[in-house]
Structure 1
Amino acid sequence: MDTTSESPSPEIERLPVRVWDQSVRIFHWSIVGLVIGAYVTSRFNWMTWHVRLGQITLTLLIFRILLGFWGSETARFRRFLVRPSSALIYTRRFFSHAETKYVGHTPAGGWMVIVLILVLSMQVLTGLYAYNDVARVGPLFGMFSGDTSNILVSAHGLLFTILMTFVAIHIAVITLYRIVKRQDLIRPMTTGIQYLPPGFRKPKMICASRALSLFLFAVVIATLVSQL
């Protein structure tokens, strides 16, 4: 059965469907906390903690990428990534009265996930090699010359600005969904439950043991990357 359908009238009862497992939800809210923590530690020059938060963020990003291939159905890239043209068409029709329900990410939302993962990954990786005349920041700062490392420091700051721009867009879209389409996107990512009309196929979820195995694998990869 298709995962999308035209929305019925408001009178039709919506049923609770589990669309996000704990691994995805923990990742999402942990990244929110880590980004805030990274900003605070940077502002107060708590570089030891800043680096530690960056390394934890790297681990979680690798974990999310692994979930994109071997995680629950709604977390897999092949499930929510569509052609860019389809995402653009969806965006153009956002304010139309015709509404389509999606289980998990929408076409545009799926690409926003990819953009946020890429930008945040680039920021974390530049932080690993960051070095300047004031502070030796990243654990891999010795791999490049001072000039190259200073360039990476500048890129690290620029990428944070880009990241915050996309985060602002993300928050604005969530707000628009609440106002225009009367859809709460925060509660499903908190509880894992999305209320859908009857007829939607329940997505398959991975077990806790597989999620734990993927996380431990992510820890190993992140540790190896930090020690290159």
Structure 2
Amino acid sequence: MDKGSKSLSAETAGEPVRVWDLSVRIFHWSIVTLVIAAYVTSRYNWMTWHIRLGQLTLTLLIFRILIGFWGSETARFRRFLVRPSVALAYTQSFLSHASPTHIGHTPAGGWMVITLISLLSAQVLTGLYAYNDVARVGPLFGIFSGDTSNLLVSVHGILFSVLLSFVIVHIAVVALYWLVKRRNLIRPMTTGILNLPPGSHNPRMISARRALSLFLCSVIIATLISQL
């Protein structure tokens, strides 16, 4: 059993176990909404709103990083990050119906989480320096020269295309889980509950007080970054 998550046979699943706390679920669906909204505001050149959405996204990304260290058991990086070889082996055995159900992220899923967080962070940070003829400046515009800022704008656009590619892969994998393994990954991320065999390990969940404290910390950090 790898350190990424304890695994159990899907065929014997039956007892509801909370695997995702409210903070993780709110983060997940909020990011989905914000990425769509950011795309729409960019397409229509509503740059003032686009920048505000970027700053909110930065806050949520910082929050996710914080709960990756101090959040619920299934949300912690040390819980689901495994060696790349382990993730590759899991990916190669994907079509096996005998593969286990994981409490939390799978070995490959853990690396997808890190990849998406990294791409989103780079996307947001390059946007903070962006220049636009309508909105004039991003929050941190002026730190670099005009040429460097223009380069960052180009990188910002390229990163979105890369991010979109990974999002499509993510959605495709979720669909494959349903079609090939008959496992619904959307329901647990919506309700927080996954059906597992009786007596299964119950992951430790973060308290509401700690979640709120970490979120307030993320607001402060994001505000300081935007005012550099």
TM-score, normalised with respect to structure 2: 0.95
Q: Which residue of 2 aligns with 1:109?
A: 109
Secondary structure of the corresponding residue to residue 139 of structure 2: coil
Q: Which residue of 2 aligns with 1:206?
A: 206
Question: Which structure 2 segments of 5+ residues have no match?
Answer: none
Supply the AA of the counterpart residue of 2:7.
T
CA distance in 1, matches of 2:88, 2:13: 30
CA distance in 1, matches of 2:111, 2:23: 20
Is the alpha carbon distance of 1:223 and 1:3 closer, same or farther for their aligned partners in structure 2, counting shifts above 3 Å? same
Supply the AA of the counterpart residue of 1:89.
A
Q: Which residue of 2 aligns with 1:5?
A: 8
CA distance in 2, matches of 1:130, 1:34: 18
| Greater alpha carbon shift after TM alignment, 49-58 vs 124-133 | 124-133
Q: Which residue of 1 aligns with 2:96?
A: 96
4+ residue runs over 4 A deviation: 132-135
Q: How far is 1:79 from its partner?
A: 0.3
CA distance in 1, matches of 2:120, 2:13: 39
Question: Which structure 1 segments of 5+ residues have no match?
Answer: none
Secondary structure of the corresponding residue to residue 141 of structure 1: coil
TM-score, normalised with respect to structure 1: 0.95
Supply the AA of the counterpart residue of 1:203.
P
Q: How far is 1:106 from its partner?
A: 0.3
Preserved contact between residue 73 and residue 203 of structure 2 (Cα < 8 Å): yes
Q: Which residue of 1 aligns with 2:74?
A: 74
Identity of aligned pairs, percent? 73
| Greater alpha carbon shift after TM alignment, 200-209 vs 134-143 | 134-143
Q: Which residue of 1 aligns with 2:153?
A: 153
Secondary structure of the corresponding residue to residue 16 of structure 1: strand
Q: Which residue of 1 aligns with 2:168?
A: 168
CA distance in 1, matches of 2:90, 2:13: 25
RMSD (Å), alpha carbons: 1.4
Q: How far is 1:192 from its partner?
A: 0.3
CA distance in 2, matches of 1:133, 1:182: 49
Verify: 1:142 aligned to 2:142, yes or no.
Answer: yes
Q: How far is 1:5 from its partner?
A: 3.0
Equivalence map 1:24-103=2 (5 Å): 24-103=24-103
